[in-house]
Amino acid sequence: MIQHRTATTLRTLLAAAALAAAALLPHGAAAQEAVPARVRVAKATRAGPAHLDPRLEDVKKQVHQLAWQRWELVSDQVVQLLQGQSTFVALPDGSHAALSVVEARGNIVTVEVAMAQKNTQTRVTVEKGQRIVHQVAKEKGGVALFIVVTPWP
Amino acid sequence: MEADDLSLVRQARAGDDKAFQALVVRYQRKVYAVALGIVRDTDTAWDVAQEAFVRAHGHLAELEGEEAFAKWLFRITSHLSIDSVRRERRSLKDSMEDVAESELNAGGEGILSTPLGLDPADNALRRELAGRMEAALSRLPAIHREILVLRELEGLSYEELADRLGIQKGTVMSRLFHARKKMQVLLADYAGVPAGGDGDGDGEREGSEP
Amino acid sequence: MSECTGYAPMLTARPGELPAGDAAALERHLDACVECRALRTAFLATEGLLAEGLLAKAAERDFAPFTDAVMARVARRHNRRGRVFDWVSHHRVRAAISALAPAFAAGALVVYFHGATPDAVPPHHLFELTSDCGVTTVLKTDQGPVVLMGDDDGDDAP
């Protein structure tokens, strides 16, 4: 009788633990979720008259305080950012930025931006309506590269 | 914002898995690159890289206070990589630690006789050569691969290489020379790279040695 | 030329790695020997390229699942699940008490959903950076963060 009770208890314990784990672990809820994101690559230049590509108008407030005066759009695409799998974005200097979702909950997402050749990984959390502006190439000759990630565009 | 290795190690030792994961994220690609350089097979390198972190996790308590986590981790990685290679094949005896006259003459002129510099126009050339060097690595004997990878990726000094590989400093120097010379011979296949770079990639030699 | 075999292993030395006497002797030899000078120039030209090539190769690989795979291996290595089974089968009284676990789990579900609404998470509360790029600057704005890479020369200023 005691052994039967123990077996029953064990099954109940494991079932409850599995239920609790599935609810408590954020990865469990977001594992299959893809977060659409608009990904733009921009070239920023110090020299020349101030100019912001009209397609970058929404990042004006984020970049106006920086030293780079001219902002030109290099590429623009909408991708699905996944958890546990990187989406690679080509950069003009031949390298790649690897984007993935670390965690997504409601309207808040943590995105990892990795540039492997520079051994740099950044994880940053934003909410819907915000953008991540991330430099992806060091400045050379007054020119720098940035990536703009807009979740749920 | 950015925790240093020491504080992450302390947290990880106390059982904080997230701290250890941050260390993994920080060093995963470089660890993989070191393993790849030595074992050459991508799947084996992936496996060795993961195992290096697992070993590190299991022996965090043994990390001496003053020793840098990164250096210790790369030491684990290189040992696992070298062990993996030696399990796969018999180790090659390097009976030619002394440099022979023929070694100096092999490979013709120094093809890349001018430093590439940081001219943005040479970025494409630089990437091409970096890719060729990585590919050429496969054609080197294991002991030359090991020492080149440790020297170039980890930046180890002669003394550190001697300590890591358990050989004399003189052997380090000559083995490195052999490795780099062999690499130059392999890169000589990339004929026609002119001094100062060939922007249009047509293989035409332009200019001469400075 | 026969001198060259003695100096050849020194050609891979970095500044400061050779004793002063050897370094001076090497420089004198290089002043006189075109072949060795060309060889050292060739070595210098390819310095760092192998690392770049290997890191570029690493960049082709998707590392998103790597950390989870490592932690899964760590867990298997520690054999946690086996210990749980052993514990339950050998401690029947404690196992009976643990029948309360479902109630606790249900309670935890309630606490979780009530206590951690998305609105409770500040938008910039999480920022983690690992980088070999030197000092990195993060500017926080209402529109979202701006992450700037460091420069070794220190001549970049936002």
Contact A120 C121 (CB under 8 A): no
Yes or no, beta carbons of A12 and C101 under 8 Å apart:
yes
Distance from CA of A89 to the nearest CA of C (A): 11
Cβ contacts of C74 on chain B, cutoff 8 Å: 54, 57-58
**From C94, which residue of chain A is nearest by alpha-carbon distance?**
A6
Given the DSSP bridges, would you call strands A143-151 and A132-140 parallel, antiparallel or unpaired? antiparallel
The pLDDT value recorded for residue B157 is 94
Helix%, strand%, coil% for chain B, nearest 5: 65, 0, 35
In this complex, is the C-beta atom of A93 within 8 Å of any C-beta atom belonging to chain B?
yes
Q: A8-12, C87-91, C96-100, C108-112 — which one is most confidently predicted on average?
A: A8-12
**Cβ-defined contact of C39 to B25 (cutoff 8 Å):** no
Contact by Cβ (8 Å): A22, A16: no
Q: Which of B18, B53, B76, B159 to mutate to test the interface with C (most CBs of C within 10 A)?
A: B53
Yes or no: say if B25 and A121 are a contact pair by the CB < 8 Å rule: yes
Question: In whole angstroms, what is the distance from residue C61 CA to residue B43 CA?
Answer: 11
Q: Do C99 and A9 touch (CB under 8 A)?
A: yes
Contact at CB, B29 and A94, closer than 8 angstroms: no
For residues A120 and C99, the model is more confident at A120
pLDDT digits (tens, 9 = 90+) for B76-109: 999 999 999 888 765 444 434 455 555 555 544 4
Contact B113 C49 (CB under 8 A): no
Q: Is the pLDDT of residue B111 over 50?
A: no
pLDDT in tens, chain A (153 residues): 434 455 555 555 555 444 444 444 444 444 446 899 999 999 999 988 889 999 999 999 999 888 899 999 999 999 999 988 888 898 888 788 899 998 898 899 999 998 766 667 788 889 999 999 999 988 888 899 999 999 999
Is the predicted pLDDT of residue B156 greater than 90, yes or no?
A: yes
How far does chain C reach from its first CA to its final CA, in angstroms? 54
Cβ distance A132 to C95 less than 8 Å, yes or no, reads no
- Is the separation of the CB atoms in B154 and B37 below 8 Å? no
C126 shares contact with chain B (CB less than 8 Å): no
Q: Which helix (H) or strand (E) holds A115?
A: strand A108-115
Q: How far is CA B56 from the centre of its chain?
A: 20
HSE-CB of B6 using CA atoms within 13 angstroms: 5
Question: What is the interface size between B and C, counted as CB pairs within 8 Å?
Answer: 175
- Report d(CA B78, CA B89) in Å as an integer: 17
Structure tokens at A109: 């997402």
Residue A97 phi, psi dihedral angles, 5° rounding:
-105, 135
Query: DSSP letters of B112-176?
Result: S-S--TT-GGGHHHHHHHHHHHHHHGGGS-HHHHHHHHHHHHS---HHHHHHHHT--HHHHHHHH
| Residue B155 predicted with pLDDT over 50 | yes
Shortest CB distance from C12 goes to which of B109, B130, B177?
A: B177
- Any CB–CB contact under 8 A between A94 and chain B? yes
* Closest-CA distance of chain C to residue B63, Å: 18
Per-position b or e across A21-53, b if 16+ CB within 10 A of its CB? eebeeeeeebeeeebebbbbbbbbbeeeeeebb
CA distance B99 to B173: 10
How far is residue B202's CA from residue C44's CA, in Å, rounded to a whole number? Answer: 24
State the alpha helices, DSSP H only, in chain A.
2-24, 26-30, 60-63
Q: Could you tell me whether strands A132-140 and C144-148 are parallel, antiparallel, or unpaired per DSSP bridges? A: parallel
Q: Does B37 lie at the interface with C, CB-CB under 8 angstroms? A: yes
Helix, strand, coil % over all residues of chain A, rounded to 5: 25, 50, 25
Residues of A in contact with B127 (CB under 8 A): 94
List of chain C residues whose C-beta atoms are within 8 Å of the C-beta of residue B184 = 39, 42-43, 46
What spatial distance separates the first Cα and last Cα of chain A, rounded to whole Å?
61
Contacts of C among chains (3+ CB pairs under 8 A)? A, B
Q: Do A121 and B120 touch (CB under 8 A)?
A: no
